[in-house]
Every structure is written in structure tokens, then in C-alpha cells.
Amino acid sequence: MTTSEHPKTEAPGNARKDPEDWATGEEEMTGAQASYLKTLCEEAGEEFDPNLTKAEASKRIDALQDETGRGQD
């Protein structure tokens, strides 16, 4: 199944922006990011850094998803 078969699963254009380009990327990571990142860190045996920005947390989540296989379709 592709995202074109399910248009609601296609991210809006601005959702695909590089985290470095986010207007709020330098803000503290969200609670949802922190919670998910803690889970990924535990699964990967990595240390959780609570001081990441939103942009840094997003990049770390992407990297840990690749490492753990989580979030992969």
C-alpha cells in the first residue's frame, strides 16, 4: 500500500521540512518527543539527553528509529 492510496497518511508540505528550518526548532523538545525518545533510547541502549531542542530531538528520533527498526512501515 502506498501513501497515494491513503491520502490522509500523506504529511502536509511543511511537515517534511528539515528540522533545522523549523521556526520553533530551538525551543525545548515537546513532552511527546521526550517520552518517545526515552523509549527509543531504552530500546537502543543509549543515554537519553533531556536538554535537546525540538530540532535535535527530531533528528535523534529519526536516527534511533533507523537503529531500532521502530516507526518503520
> CA 1 to CA 14: how far, in whole Å?
23
Name which residue leads in pLDDT, 32 or 70. 32
Residue showing cell 521556526: 23
Instruction: Name the β-bridge partners of 53.
Output: 28
For the chain, the structural domain boundaries read 24-73
pLDDT bin (cut points 50, 70, 90) of residue 13 is: low
Please write the tens of the pLDDT for every residue from 14-67: 556 777 777 776 889 999 999 999 999 999 999 999 999 999 999 999 999 999
